[in-house]
Each structure stands twice: as structure tokens, then as C-alpha cells.
Structure 1
């Protein structure tokens, strides 16, 4: 169980996250929604401890995440893998090496600097790439891939961390509709196949309703909605998004498959 208890994250006088409280059961697929600047990204980064926590706590099982330092903090960041909007790959490195970076918390730094990855880690990385139909591109430079391919590499990198939670921060914001479906289907397969909790920031309400089993709505840093997608009425959505409501409610997005395809059946972008 992940528990966020009175979490506040301030930058100067502005509270990007303001007294947020909720709990998330293992194996959930949770969408965090709200207009731009609502605090969605800071919330996820605070859970991962990439953004400083001003007050409140993040608890996971018997662990006080907000008290972690040093190696224990690095281990937590491996257990709560981040997927970013801009992929955060090293463009000049090949795809396989980018995925292997998900193993950095588990090996001595000299091994990664010398590119002496353990054989079992290489096998794990190749297996993760295979699951997203990317193994054939393992030797290709990351900056030569399409946006959808880069995001699948980033998801594979997160998967080899053996995470218990995946925190996806607007993972499809820069993708076209076809690659949006590929990436969202990949996250759904990870959630259903491995039982990994997924918390995903999404701007589109259509996508949030299609993929998530629970929605957390944020406005000006505060949690103002927390319920199943069916409870999100048009009126509540308009209150959440204000002037952006027509944009997020009017866009058409492909729905997920009626049945979740097995890992390794992703389409090739």
C-alpha cells in the first residue's frame, strides 16, 4: 500500500502540491488528471523524491519514504520507477545500454563506467526490449528512434528496475495517436501481467477513463477528486479543467484493446 499523507511541496511561497492525502492499493492503475500547472508532475516527483517534500509523508508498506537518504533513497527510486514525458534517454548511447541503466542501483559504479554489465542484467534488458518488440534495435543509437520507440525503451528501462510502482509523468504528451495507444497499451500490460502499480499523469480525460481504474483530480496543488472514472461527470471535469475543458474532453483517442495482449505483442512504430 502506498500512502500519501498531508504531502506538501513548496517552491518559495507557491505550494505546487498542497496537503495531498490518499492511499493506493497494490496493482492499481491510477490516473492523475488536472489542467497544466495543477501539480501533477510535482506530485509524482515528490513520491519518487526527485522533488523536495516540504511537509507530510510518503509511506510504502513499512517504509517512510520521506526519511530516506543515501543508498536507501537510491533503492527506493529503483522500486518506484519514473517514466518521463521527454524519455530521458542518452541519445548517443545504444538502446541496450539505455535500458541497462535501469540496473545502476544494483551494481557497483565501476561496472557501469567500464560498460561491464553482468550477463544476467544484459539478458534481463534484452528480454524487456523483446517484450516491447524493440530487441532488434538494441544496437541502434537512441537518438535515431522515433518518439514512440524511445518511450518504449524508457518503459523497458523502468521494467528492469524490478519496480513495485511505475510513476509515468505525461508519458504520451509528445506522441501521435498511434504511438499513444502503443505506449498506453504497454503500461496496461505491465500493470495486468506483472501486477505493478501504475500511477500515470494524463491530460486527456478520454485516455484516463479508458485505461485507469481510478482517477485523482488535482487543482492548484490540491486533490479535489478521487474516485472511479464513472464518477467523473462532465460538470466535475469542467470544474477541474476550467478553460481547458473543451480541449481535454473533445479529443478522440483510440481505446485500449478489449483484452490485454500478451507481452511481446506490441505493434512496431
Structure 2
């Protein structure tokens, strides 16, 4: 279980996250919602330890995440895989190599410098690409892919880290509606098929209600809502989003996500 206890992150006099507390059970799909600047990205980055908390504590299954250093911190960053809005792929490298980067935490330094990937890791990476219909692009440069394809590669890279939790920071912000659905369905498959906890920052309430089984609403760095999507009333949503409410609520709901298929025997587990 992930436990966030009175977590705060200050930048000068401003608190980007202010005294946030919540618990997330294994296997949940949690949407973090709120207007721009609410503290959503800082929250996820603190959980991964890409941003340092000013106060408070993060624990995972009894382990004090906020106290980790060195190799133990690198292991935690592998266990809490980040997916970014701008994909963070190395454009000049091929797709397979980009996915294999997710295995760096498990490799000795000499292998990572020479990129002498073990065959088991190559099989793991190809299996992850197959999960998202991207295996045919394994030898193609990453910068030749569309935005939606690049994000699926980034998700495959996160999957080969064999994480306990995936932290997705606005993963569909730069995508068109078709690729938005493809990427969100990919995250849903990871959550339902592998039982991996997903914590996803989302700007759209329609998407959050469609895909998530729990929502955490943030405003001015504080957690102001924590509950099931059905409990998020229009009144609460307007308090969360203020002037952005009409933009994020929309007039039509997203279609129901695709049925999550049962995969065959996969190398990724």
C-alpha cells in the first residue's frame, strides 16, 4: 500500500503541494484531477522522488520512500515507473532500445554503457511492445513515430521496469481524441491484466470518470476531494476547476473504454 502522509513541497514561499494525505491500495486506478497549477505533477514527482518533499512522508509497504538514497532510490524509481506528457524517448534511438532503457536499474553499469542487453531483457521488451501493437516498429527510430505511438512506447518502457505502481503525468495532454483513447485503454489493460496500480494525472473529468475507480481532487496544492467518480458532483467539480469547469467537464461523455482482452502467455509479468 502507498501511504502519503502530510506531504508538502515548497518552492520559496509557495507550497506546490500542501499537507496532502491519502492511501492507495494495490491494483487501484486512481485519477488525480484539478486545474492547471493545482499541484498534480509535483505530487507524482514527489512519489517517484524526482521532486523532494519539504515536509511529510511517503511509505510503500512499510518502506520509507522519503528516506531512500543511492541504489535503493534507483530501485524505487524503477518500482514506481513514470510516464510523462512529452514521452521522454531518445528520438535517435530505435523503439526497442528505448523500451530496453526501462531495464537499466537491473543492469550492471558496464552493460548499460555498452548497451549489451541480455536476451531475456530483449524478449521482455518485445513482449511489452506486442501488448500495445508496436512490435512491428521495434527497429524504427522513435522520432519517426506519431505522438500516440511514442506514448505507447513509453508505456511499454514503464512496463518492462516490472513496477508496483505506474505514475502517469498528463499522458494524453498532447494527443488527439483517437490516440487519447488508445493510450488510456493501454493504461487500463496494464491495471486490469497485470494488477499494477496506476495513478494518473488527468485534466478531463470525462476521461477520469470513464477510466478511474477513484479520484483525488487537488486545488491550490491541497487534496479537497477523495472518493469514487460517482461521488464527484457537478458542484464539487466547479469548485475544483473554477473558471476552467466548462472546458474540462464538456457536454458529452467519453465512450466506454474497450473490453480489456485476456492476453496469451506473455513474457512480461
Q: TM-score range by the shorter chain?
A: over 0.9
Q: 1:62 and 1:222 mapped to 2: Cα distance?
A: 24
What secondary structure, in the 3-state scheme, does the structure 2 residue paired with 1:172 have? coil
Aligned to 2:83: 83
User: Is the CA contact 2:214–2:229 (under 8 Å) kept in the aligned structure 1?
Assistant: yes
Aligned to 1:138: 138
Q: 2:138 and 2:258 mapped to 1: Cα distance?
A: 30
Q: How does 1:1-269 map to 2 (within 5 A)?
A: 1-250=1-250, 252=252, 254-257=254-257, 259-263=259-263
What secondary structure, in the 3-state scheme, does the structure 2 residue paired with 1:101 have? helix
Q: 2:231 and 2:17 mapped to 1: Cα distance?
A: 23
Deviations 1:93-136 (A, max 9, x none): 00000000000000012212212001100000000001111011
User: Is the CA contact 1:189–1:262 (under 8 Å) kept in the aligned structure 2?
Assistant: no
What secondary structure, in the 3-state scheme, does the structure 2 residue paired with 1:193 have? helix
Aligned to 1:267: none
Q: 2:207 and 2:92 mapped to 1: Cα distance?
A: 32
Structure 2: tracts of 5 or more residues without a match:
265-269
Q: 1:103 and 1:253 mapped to 2: Cα distance?
A: 38
Length-normalised TM-score, structure 2: 0.96
Q: 1:251 and 1:104 mapped to 2: Cα distance?
A: 44
Deviation at 1:253, TM superposition (A): 5.7
Deviation at 1:186, TM superposition (A): 0.4
Q: 2:93 and 2:45 mapped to 1: Cα distance?
A: 25
Most deviating of 167-176 and 111-120: 111-120
User: Is the CA contact 1:177–1:254 (under 8 Å) kept in the aligned structure 2?
Assistant: no
User: Is the CA contact 1:95–1:139 (under 8 Å) kept in the aligned structure 2?
Assistant: yes
User: Is the CA contact 2:6–2:57 (under 8 Å) kept in the aligned structure 1?
Assistant: yes
Superposed CA RMSD: 1.1
Deviation at 1:263, TM superposition (A): 4.7
What secondary structure, in the 3-state scheme, does the structure 2 residue paired with 1:124 have? helix
Length-normalised TM-score, structure 1: 0.96
Deviation at 1:251, TM superposition (A): 5.8
Change (3 A) 1:115 1:222: same
Deviations 1:153-194 (A, max 9, x none): 000000000000000000000000000000000000100000
User: Is the CA contact 2:94–2:139 (under 8 Å) kept in the aligned structure 1?
Assistant: yes
Residue-pair matches, total: 264
Q: 2:43 and 2:89 mapped to 1: Cα distance?
A: 22
Deviations 1:195-254 (A, max 9, x none): 000000000000000000000000000000000000000010000000000000116464
Most deviating of 138-147 and 244-253: 244-253
Q: 1:78 and 1:259 mapped to 2: Cα distance?
A: 29
Q: 1:251 and 1:194 mapped to 2: Cα distance?
A: 33
Aligned to 2:267: none
